[in-house]
Structure 1
Amino acid sequence: MGFCSMLLLSNILLTAWLSTAKGEVKSCEFPQFKYGRLYYEEILRPNFPVSIGNKYSYKCDNGFSPPSGIFWDYLRCTVQGWEPEVPCVRKCVFHYVENGQSAYWEKIYVQGQSLKVQCYNGYSLQNGQDTMTCTENGWSPPPKCIRIKTCSVSDIEIENGFFSESFRTYALNRETSYRCKQGYVTNTGETSGSITCLQNGWSPQPSCIKSCERPVFENSVTKNNSTWFKLNDKLDYECLIGYENEYKHTKGSITCTYYGWSDTPSCYEIECSVPILDRKLVVSPRKEKYRVGDLLEFSCRSGHRVGPDSVQCYHFGWSPSFPTCKAGQVASCAQPPEIPNGEINGAKRVEYSHGEVVGYDCKPRFLLKGPNKIQCVDGMWTTLPVCVEEERTCGDIPELEHGSVKFSVPPYHHGDSVEFTCAETFTMIGLGSVFCLSGKWTQLPKCVATDQLEKCRVLKSTDIEAIKPKRKEFQHNSTMYYKCRDKQEYEHSICINGKWNPEPNCIRKISCPPPPQIPNTQVIETTVKYLDGEKLSVLCQDNYLTQDPEEMMCKDGRWQSLPHCIEKIPCSQPPTIEHGSIKLPRTSEKRRKSIEFSSHEHGTTFSYVCDDGFRIPEENGVACYMGKWSTPPRCVGLPCGPPPSIPLGTVSLELESYQHGEEVTYHCSTGFGIDGPALIKCEGGKWSDPPKCIKTDCDILPTIENAIIRGKNKKSYRTGEQVTVRCQSPYQMNGSDTVTCINGRWIGKPVCKDSRGKCGPPPPIDNGDITSLSLPEYEPFSSVDYQCQKYYLLKGKKTITCRNGKWSEPPTCLHACIIPENIMEARKIILKWRHTKNIYSHSGEDIEFECKYGYHKARGSPPFRTKCISGTINYPICE
């Protein structure tokens, strides 16, 4: 290593040692940046990291320059890091655009700068742009004008449609409209659409497809809400209850065809026809067709009737099954069978005659499904009822005005009862016991003041023949006996607060035929008739669900409000919740299976668990009901305690407890500032990290050698304040003359250098360097020589001299030109005097081209004789 190199290295190391010895904070690591490097970076690398205020000269690669646009510049270590943030930006040269107007002289742009380009008529930059931007990878779009795309309406045919406008040709990106013929629509169901002229032609492809409007539904409904349908679209419909289509089905589908809908979604009232029956069976009334709701009554001309004495016409046909007539004796029945969780009403006998009826009741907590009465039919009992457990419970016991409930303990299950009593001067009207039935309490009694109880008046009716005792009014709780015409026995009724119970009635109670066998319900084979007002609850088959109502009722001699058993619909994956997840079984096998299921059957339930710091305030599960999950729970964040305290800081509002999501803001004492986000948030019972209060004011300015402060020196400075200094004679300022107070620290380091003729290192140049080792300081009238890299041409004086502390103007290294074969091939040109594949030409050197054999000079082509100018050649074009 020579003496000069040793001297430079010693100076660098001494500077680094002095910087560390003064206690400066090291805040910048060795700079890593694209397309450039520091001068002497191998020697400087061991000194990093360095403190704020240091600066280093750097140069950029060929084709790049500092943002200032000069040949070299300084990289400065600041509070925010290295400055400039992007040290080397792309240089883009513009002097020629293909198929457009070019500049006479080349002009250099830096990364981020743009210019407008003027293309020849009928040409444009890519995508119709007129502006190019200098990017890291060069010009975008490239400097080439391409022929503008146009579209003609003759290029496209609209089947079943036509263009709305009269123009024939459209420029790139222009839009035009079209309409469809009557009975046709676009893909989106509109009567008109639009297409755009793009680089590859018209888009999107216009389309007019056959359509059908929504049909009129007669006694039928559909779940499809669309107002129009495409060709071959199917529309499903379902008939209303009691109706069917012409094909005797309650469901059907129609298709959209070229001629309209394939059928009409019409349904007609269902009719029942009587099949051929036993000749001994008398049927009344006799008709050819019967409507839904019609009744048929039966009797036998001889023998015994086996089966119901009447049936009813429903939308699913006659029910129950028709009876038969038996010539011989009918058999009696043994004791009725026991049923689980139920019992027979009344005492049991050893034998029961044909036609006898026995009733059943379920034990508490169980609900009776099916017929509550069975009948002995020729030695066999009809279908038994079923007692199913009722899981629904009743809530709190309702309050009774002027009354109280006797002691009882919840929960209250189906069949449980509670007893009420009235206050001393009040009388109870109604049943004193209230029952829990299927999750609801039966009607409460009333407590009426005893001295306000109303009397009952005798009802005037032509059907009542006699009344005992003979009065016009009856007191509360007194009994009246009455006899109907054409009857021998007396009926009775009790006066309850002005109303008769039961109400005197001489009209014969109407009965209904045996209950029907509803589709998809468990089998009911019964011959028992039910009186007006009686109800019957059915049980659906497996995989079916009862749809409201759950009971059918005997009313006006017919069964009405029939339940429906609909097929259970499975659910897809259960919903996800924020801050929570599905609680899976513990065993790995069960966990795996529950995750793998993509379908979950009706009734499936899942529970959720929350992440740490969150809880579920309500029900924690979801249930699948007919293909849909119930509303999932929410995981609510736990509250937080007081926010953490910080030295020299306070919060905007300090409480003992904060809800999830609440925020607080910190403030620092005078002279201190927030380091970090001033606002923190309560999330899941925890606060986010609080900020710190750091000193923002600066103490008195440190001494700067050979410098004087401009203005008055203060004991304290606020953050952001700047102080300007000047150098004492004969020293001159090297760099910035200001320092800034930033968060308690002085940023910047003015340097006053001796101005008596000495110079610093010679300035760097692009694509060249000095021929000797650079020194940190040069004596007056010292000189250094520059040389360019290979294929670069030195422009200016190669020698510069130090005079009065400044170097004379350095030379520049002009770019060489490379003439690749692929560029000449693209432009159909060759070199007139050379025949190599890749030619190097110095900047300023003349170059002459000529057309390849069979080609001639293109219109607007640059001249064939041109120059290499800073690495760029204005190539001619042949065609």
Structure 2
Amino acid sequence: MRVPVKLLGFGFWLFFLNCARCQECLREDIKHENTEPVEKASYAHGEIVKVNCITGYTGLYRLNCEKGEWKKSIERPCAKRRCSHPGDTPNGDFKLIKGTEYLFGTTVVYNCKKGYEMASRINYRTCRAQGWDNAVPVCEVVKCPAIRTDWEVTASGNTEEGRYGDAIHFECVSSDKMIDGNSDIRCEETGKWSDAVPKCKVPHGSSNTAANQKLCPDLSVENGFIYSHSFNKEKIFYSCNTGYKPFTGNWWDSVTCSKGSWSDEPRCIRKEDCGALPSVHHGKLIHRDRETAEVECDPGFISTEPFIKCTSGRWETPVCKEVRCGIPPNVENAVITSEPKEFYLPGSTVTYICRSSYLMNEKSTVFCQSGTWENTPTCQGQREITCQSNGEWSSPFPKCEGKHTEAVTCELKSTTFGVKKIKPEEKNIFRAGESVELTCSEKYWFLGTKETSRSFTCKDNGEWDYEPVCAEITCETPHDQHVYYPSYSFSGDKKRGAKKSYRCESGYREMAEEATCTRDGWTPKPLCAVSEKCGPPPGVNDADTLEITKKEYNTGERVEYSCFNKYTLDLRPPFSRYLTCEQGEWRGNIRCLKPCTVTVEEMERRGLELAYANRQKMFAPHDDHITFMCQRGKVSGGVPLRQQCNDGVITLPECVRQ
């Protein structure tokens, strides 16, 4: 009776084991398109897995394993990432290679307009996972060679560097001669002039050119008007209505009468756009689209309008208005204790202190607001002074006449601010010629210097040879140290001991996490050091970069790799999908794991065939599975029919006859 009981228990154990396995959810059953493989090959009942989209796609799936089946709790199908507008180029346009939207993998090709040529080496941009690669190409106007004439011919126009559409007009120096050839030529889109430089010749049968000059017919300009002429004898000038321009591209043009016919037909064509962006004093413009540009002003300036528009073929005029303040106001009988600056941005402050024998009102600091100084202080002195019996004045500034001239003195009232030591001690009044040695406190130095100890001498006029005032040690904004946006990073407190987080410009690296204000300025010195550049990223077996590579990379820039030929990126540490430029060297590890393949010959030799019911293929990426089945009349020889690929290696089962 014991044996059957044991067999029954073993049977129950097998049943529960198989039941537990039947509740597992398999990675191979996740069939969502454009997704990366999940981490594990199988998941237990109740586990939740996040399925990410492959590079270049955006979306998300969150799946719950419920009794062997995947249930979706979040479903955002993977769709190609979308890029912003690729950017317009002045005097050119672009077109999509295929499709109508800016999606991952889409390429736009730029072409220059008539009369312009591509100055950039690369004329296309591709939408990548991180946005558009390459820079917006640049179209430059076609130029024609300089014009050279002999002494008999004069030329008017841009003769040194003609551009597409420019016209040159020729005339003879002598009124007895006439132009032999075209009197007007134009710079064409090929970079050549429309005709050769003419010569001057004597007219046949007469020495008077004007007498033989034939009249040209009257002219009219469609969508334009003639605004000057020479009675149809020599030359007329014309311009175009709003929204149109001469076909040469200038805002005006002219045609010349020669031998009874005009040199060309005046034509006005519709304006396609406003052309290149205008320059901005104290700022720059950034293209947003064909009709709008953003105004970006320099620090200390603000735009009256954040955007300008293309209206009637012309850009609106951008203005960057100065909001920084000029030189601080002069306060009578006071000196400035703040460190002088090159310019003062809104919010900047300047502190004053009154001279000896003067008192300050409640205001001691002025501040910059909207380009003007606010809160100006005043210093008031004593209204009466008395010549005392000892020959000294009650206030040091006036001089005593006659026998009291030797009693001129200087007073140390202003030295209490920031002073640590006075030598000789406990003395505030000094006669002319006497000196005093002062030492400023730890965070102060003498106004206008970087000295903390020095001697001061009383002069004959009752003034010190140098103002004995200690001012707080401050550090100037490091405009010349390649700090990114220093006026913002180093705003506020810049006194000794102040610390500022900062970032360096592209191509430079931070020498410390924070900059510290010291007597010698901001430390460390320098704040930003030149970053060593990396060359093109190295090649990796069975992989390539996703973006077009550059010749040079700065520290911190990185490139992303992708495997090909069914290989799989190894994302387990220390491997990743990126290499990073660090001080002239590429850091990181890229490895592509081999897929597994199975041939028909191998399967036939082992009595196998693919389990097509499970939609398996004859290859599997790393960590994926291939499920086999035995041919009719054969059974498994012991090795499981479902095998996992491990970096190109897969164990093939074998089926034997029953």
TM range (shorter): under 0.3
Q: TM-score, normalised by structure 2?
A: 0.19
Q: TM-score, normalised by structure 1?
A: 0.15
Structure number with bigger Rg: 1
